[in-house]
Amino acid sequence: MATIYLLLVLSALIFTAQAQQGQSNIVKPGSLLTPATTTNSSWLSPSGLYAFGFYKQGYGYAVGIFIEGIPQKTVVWTANRDDSPVPADAILNFTSDGQLVLQSAQQGTKTSIANSPGVATSASMLDSGNFVLHNSDNNTIWQSFDQPTDTLLPSQHLLVQKVLSSSVSDSNHSTGRFLLLMQQDGYLAMYPVGTPYTIEYGYWNYVTPGQENNAKLNLDDNGHLYLDSINGKAGIVDLNIGDNSTKGLLYLLRIDADGILRLYSHNMDQNGTWSVTWSQPDDKCAPKGLCGLNAYCVETDQSFGCNCLPGFALINQSEMSSGCERNFTAESCKASMPYTMEAVNNTTWEDKNISVLSSSTQEACKAACLQDCNCDAAQFKQGECKKQSLPLRFGRLLESDPNIAFIKVSISTPTTARNVPKKSKKEVLIISVSLVAFAFIMLVIFGIVRYGYRVWACKKESNHGNIVLSEDVSLQSFTYAELEKVTDNFKEELGRGAFGIVYKGEIGNGKKLVAVKRLEKLLAEREREFQSEMKVIGRTHHKNLVHLLGYCHDGLNRLLVYEYMSNGSLADILFTPEKQPCWDQRMEIARDIAKGILYLHEECMPHIIHCDIKPQNILMDENMCAKISDFGLSKLLKPDQTKTFTGIRGTRGYVAPEWHRKMSVTVKVDVYSFGIVLLEIICCRKGVDYNILEEEAILEEWAYHCFECGELGKLVGDDKVDKKQLERITKVALWCILYEPSLRPSIKKVLQMLEGTMDIPDPPSRSVASSVWSKE
């Protein structure tokens, strides 16, 4: 009873505080907003047209700016748009020290809404739709107009090198697939998100006749859209100037979820809806990647449709643009499986050929792809056959284009084929002598290529003194309240990863530092699996694995407590120039990682495939010993989260190609990721980096190039490295990232190569390697 009374008093206080602010529309520090309808959930602009505050998003709320004064409340800006929605207990706190903070006790999060450089003494929602923060000198220190999401409002400018990025959908305002960029060279252009800003990826552009540098995009109150530069204005959309019919209309420019840029108008006098005044491009299928991976866009009268390639099915049946995946499980090349090639006429695709056959015929093109394990599809046009690997992107039907896509599909009924043991299928080594030689070398080096998981009992390895197997390790189980105390109410954030946010904590009265990971995005119903996974992870013990100390499974909360790693992640030290370790230390790190993976793959029971090896998941202890974290968690994640495609020229990041080919996932996916990490360790740079020369941007391609040209020294720059050693280690990495999983060495072989002194054969060229294994 007392609490209810207190709440009433509190809300009355808030109410009066804000009613007072309402008169001037200036919000002072100490003000709060909450999503609840009983209190104020937004701050209005003086005319009441715009509001800043909470709006409904998914199962929770987001903070943003929306047009409150029209029936169809339209969101024009969202703070931290890619964060998950906050629950109903959230509070937007304009703190007395001048920060705008979104806090949720239930989620234990505190996020800054406006990363302003100073202390704000007032905030205002303006009638232009701009939300501004002022300091004590009445200077604007932050404004939402400088951080546009997908919408440009009248009087707002899109400055040079700024983008508008589309939302996921009308109801989900997270970053979607397309963006509009105001380029430095005066071009206004649209691209798919995650591609380089070059002409081959753009799908629309506009430039002023004189092509002025440093132009900015403006929209004015009358719906004129123009580029503004030192030489004046150039109209993109000029409505009849002086025509009074545009008066009383509200305009906005938005790049929509379908990649089309639209200028909308809304008649304020009538109960209208938004109508489209102008839009570009006209061609609905022009936005590249509209249908997702392995699908192609087909224009219809009003809109567009998406078709999957033959042998493929939608990833999400109820989501047309989700992209497609093989509807059969492919086998590794070695296990020969009958395939056939199906044609899709008159479609265009991104070309990321793995090899090209000139003066070919359709039949020869199909046959060449069938014989090549790396080849999942081919594009045939005017006698040129370009072999492709999955996924295919940017597909669309274009009646005028004679390009044919040939797709490799399974003939046999897939589900049974997978489980029936294959008896008489014999592998044959084919084609040229050189290929046979490759195979021979490989067989010698790697022994018989093994598949999948071998089930080894987990044993105490006396030769690896560091492995201690304790069958009955008891993980400590924490309550949520305990972990709140341990982390001092989730005060200090250590980092963010695929699984959630990590906080620093102390147990045993500050005697021991720990890292507490709050898991997000888990499948909610998987309670029992969570417990059993915890047991599995709790049993692992190796000096190159981050040790799990305990967990919390309390209501909806899932948290893990790990030992604290004082030197951050490998990504930190590798990609921060001041922190980069010397070559010998780096090689030590590479061996440590390989040892950790070896333990997961072969020494512990049950074996664990990590599925997400990357420098962010490798942590460094106080002695700079590398330890792998996040192992054993991939099973708990929703499907597909591990398969992210970086989107840049077919780059998979750390993700092995078989994820995209729908082959069964084996330990070799970790070997692939390790190979990419090894290249990063060699070069002290990220696998994909568009801040450097284009031909060097994708590390795996550049490393191959340097290797083939005998210019490995370029990889390490000024770093003094023994040439022989550099060559050996690079070769190991290139073996690890072979496209065909069965050709990649096991992690044990990798470790031997990293440690040993034996010669390492040249890795096969990527385009030929696969042809080694074929079938009759």
Ligand X SMILES: *[C@@H]1O[C@H](CO)[C@@H](O)[C@H](O)[C@H]1NC(C)=O
Which residues belong to the active site? 612
Q: Whose Cβ is closer to ligand X: residue 321's or residue 569's?
A: 321
Is 352 near ligand X (CB under 6 A)? yes
Q: Whose Cβ is closer to ligand X: residue 18's or residue 371's?
A: 18
Is 414 near ligand X (CB under 6 A)? yes
Is 546 near ligand X (CB under 6 A)? no
* Least distance from ligand X to the Cβ atom of residue 207, Å: 26
Is 351 near ligand X (CB under 6 A)? yes
- Identify which of 6, 19, 131, 15 has the alpha carbon closest to the alpha carbon of residue 66: 131
In angstroms, rounded to a whole number, what is the distance separating the alpha carbons of residues 425 and 412?
Answer: 14
- In this chain, which of 35, 154, 289, 311 binds ligand X, going by CB under 6 A? 311
- In this chain, which of 338, 383, 402, 756 binds ligand X, going by CB under 6 A? 402
Binding region for ligand X (CB under 6 A) out of 1-9, 298-306, 314-322, 671-679? 314-322
Q: How far is CA 260 from CA 153, 189, 198, 217, 734, in A?
A: 17, 12, 19, 17, 41
* Least distance from ligand X to the Cβ atom of residue 510, Å: 23
Burial of 55 (0-12, 13-18, 19+ CB in 10 A): buried
Binding region for ligand X (CB under 6 A) out of 282-290, 311-319, 429-437, 741-749? 311-319
Q: How far is CA 357 from CA 405, 408, 708, in A?
A: 15, 17, 21
* Helix 723-736 with 747-755: angle, nearest 10 deg: 180
Is 138 near ligand X (CB under 6 A)? yes
- In this chain, which of 282, 301, 363, 399 binds ligand X, going by CB under 6 A? 399
- In this chain, which of 87, 305, 310, 495 binds ligand X, going by CB under 6 A? 310
Binding region for ligand X (CB under 6 A) out of 340-348, 469-477, 529-537, 629-637? 340-348
- Identify which of 188, 186, 129, 190 has the alpha carbon closest to the alpha carbon of residue 154: 129
- In this chain, which of 92, 126, 404, 559 binds ligand X, going by CB under 6 A? 404
Q: Whose Cβ is closer to ligand X: residue 200's or residue 755's?
A: 200
Binding region for ligand X (CB under 6 A) out of 283-291, 298-306, 395-403, 681-689? 395-403
* Least distance from ligand X to the Cβ atom of residue 502, Å: 20
Residues 6+ apart with CB under 8 A from 26: 122, 123, 124
- Identify which of 575, 569, 573 has the alpha carbon closest to the alpha carbon of residue 691: 575
For 194, the 3-state DSSP assignment is coil
Residues 6+ apart with CB under 8 A from 110: 101, 102, 103, 490
Residues 6+ apart with CB under 8 A from 652: 645, 646, 659, 660
Is 32 near ligand X (CB under 6 A)? yes
In 579-669, DSSP assigns E strands to: 618-620, 626-628
Residue 607 neighbours by CB distance under 10 Å: 17
* Least distance from ligand X to the Cβ atom of residue 162, Å: 22
Q: Whose Cβ is closer to ligand X: residue 400's or residue 424's?
A: 400
Binding region for ligand X (CB under 6 A) out of 18-26, 438-446, 540-548, 655-663? 18-26
Q: How far is CA 46 from CA 27, 121, 303, in A?
A: 12, 19, 39
Q: Whose Cβ is closer to ligand X: residue 311's or residue 323's?
A: 311
- In this chain, which of 302, 382, 400, 757 binds ligand X, going by CB under 6 A? 400
* Least distance from ligand X to the Cβ atom of residue 773, Å: 23
Is 18 near ligand X (CB under 6 A)? yes
Q: Whose Cβ is closer to ligand X: residue 188's or residue 405's?
A: 405
* Helix 668-683 with 699-708: angle, nearest 10 deg: 70
- In this chain, which of 170, 200, 238, 319 binds ligand X, going by CB under 6 A? 319
Beta bridge partners of 74: 67
Contacts with ligand X in 500-519 (CB under 6 A)? Answer: none
Binding region for ligand X (CB under 6 A) out of 211-219, 316-324, 622-630, 660-668? 316-324
* Least distance from ligand X to the Cβ atom of residue 427, Å: 25
Beta bridge partners of 500: 497, 519
* Least distance from ligand X to the Cβ atom of residue 39, Å: 7
Is 91 near ligand X (CB under 6 A)? yes
Residue 413 carries which side chain, given as an amino acid letter?
A: T
Q: Are 32 and 93 in contact (CB under 8 A)?
A: yes
Structure tokens at 618: 């490798």
- In this chain, which of 3, 244, 303, 382 binds ligand X, going by CB under 6 A? 244
Residue nearest ligand X, Cβ-based: 58
Structure tokens at 678: 């090894």
HSE-up of residue 759 (Cα within 13 Å, Cβ side):
5
Q: Whose Cβ is closer to ligand X: residue 58's or residue 210's?
A: 58
Q: Whose Cβ is closer to ligand X: residue 322's or residue 477's?
A: 322
Strands 773-774 and 312-314: unpaired
- In this chain, which of 58, 248, 452, 717 binds ligand X, going by CB under 6 A? 58
Q: Whose Cβ is closer to ligand X: residue 18's or residue 155's?
A: 18
442: left (phi > 0), else alpha (psi -120 to 50), else beta?
A: alpha
In angstroms, rounded to a whole number, what is the distance separating the alpha carbons of residues 277 and 285?
Answer: 20
Is 270 near ligand X (CB under 6 A)? yes
In 508-598, DSSP assigns E strands to: 512-519, 548-554, 557-563
Is 57 near ligand X (CB under 6 A)? yes
For 186, the 3-state DSSP assignment is coil
Residue 732 carries which side chain, given as an amino acid letter?
A: V
* Least distance from ligand X to the Cβ atom of residue 176, Å: 8
Is 93 near ligand X (CB under 6 A)? yes
Beta bridge partners of 216: 228
Binding region for ligand X (CB under 6 A) out of 144-152, 400-408, 483-491, 595-603? 400-408
Binding region for ligand X (CB under 6 A) out of 211-219, 352-360, 624-632, 731-739? 352-360
Is 356 near ligand X (CB under 6 A)? yes
* Least distance from ligand X to the Cβ atom of residue 308, Å: 7
Which x/- pattern over 139-178 shows residues binding ligand X (rule: CB under 6 A)? -----------------------------x---x-x----
Using alpha carbons only, give the angle 593, 597, 601 rounded to the nearest 5 degrees: 170
Q: Whose Cβ is closer to ligand X: residue 40's or residue 617's?
A: 40
Site size for ligand X, by CB under 6 A? 43
Q: Are 50 and 66 in contact (CB under 8 A)?
A: yes
Binding region for ligand X (CB under 6 A) out of 253-261, 399-407, 449-457, 527-535? 399-407
Is 135 near ligand X (CB under 6 A)? no
For 294, the 3-state DSSP assignment is coil
Is 246 near ligand X (CB under 6 A)? no
Is 85 near ligand X (CB under 6 A)? yes
In angstroms, rounded to a whole number, what is the distance separating the alpha carbons of residues 393 and 377?
Answer: 12
Structure tokens at 456: 């080894």
Query: Cα dihedral angle (46, 50, 51, 52), rounded to 10 degrees?
Result: -100
Q: Whose Cβ is closer to ligand X: residue 535's or residue 638's?
A: 638
The residue with tokens 């995946």 is 325
Compute the Cα dihedral for 399, 402, 403, 404 and give only its sign: positive
Q: Tell me 687's DSSP state.
A: S
In angstroms, rounded to a whole number, what is the distance separating the alpha carbons of residues 537 and 215?
Answer: 55
Q: Are 551 and 689 in contact (CB under 8 A)?
A: no
Q: Whose Cβ is closer to ligand X: residue 81's or residue 627's?
A: 81
- In this chain, which of 16, 211, 273, 316 binds ligand X, going by CB under 6 A? 316
Provide the binding-site residues for ligand X, judged by CB under 6 A.
Answer: 18-19, 21-22, 32, 40, 43-44, 57-58, 85, 91, 93, 95, 138, 168, 172, 174, 242-244, 270-271, 310-311, 316, 318-319, 327-328, 343, 345-346, 351-353, 356, 386, 399-400, 402, 404, 414
